[in-house]
Structure 1
Amino acid sequence: MTPRRRDESGSALVEFVWLGILLLVPLVWIIVSVFEVQRGAFAVSAAARAAGRAYALAPDDEAGMARARTVARQTLDDQGADDMPLRVRVTCTTGRGHCHDGTSLITVEISSGIDLPLFPEALKDGQTSFALDARHTVPVGQYIQAGP
Structure 2
Amino acid sequence: MRRARDERGSALVEFCWVGLVLFIPLTWIVISVFEVQRGAFAVNGAARAAARAFALAPDDATGRARAEAVATQTLADQGSDGMVADVRVSCGGLANCHTGTAVITVEIRSRVEMPLLPEVLAAERRSFALEASHTVPIGQYVEAGRGSGPADGG
Range into which the TM-score falls when normalised by the shorter chain: over 0.9
**Does residue 143 of the first structure (1) align with residue 147 of the second (2)?**
no
Q: Structure 1: 5+ residue runs without aligned partners?
A: none
Deviation at 1:4, TM superposition (A): 5.2
Partner of 1:34: 33
Detail structure 1 runs of 4+ shifted over 4 Å in the superposition: none
Aligned length: 144
Percentage of matched positions with identical amino acids: 63
TM-score (norm 2): 0.89
Alignment root-mean-square deviation, CA: 1.6
Superposition map of 1:1-148 within 5 A: 5=3, 6-93=5-92, 95-122=93-120, 124-125=121-122, 127-147=125-145
Q: CA deviation at 1:82?
A: 1.0
- TM-score, structure 1 as length reference: 0.92
User: Structure 1, residues 87-129: CA drift from partner, whole Å, max 9, x if none?
Assistant: 0000002x4410000100000000000010011234x236110
In structure 1, give the amino acid aligned to 2:132: A
Separation in structure 1 between the aligned mates of residue 31 and residue 62 of structure 2, nearest angstrom: 39
Gap regions ≥5 residues in structure 2? 147-154
Moved more, 12-21 or 96-105: 96-105
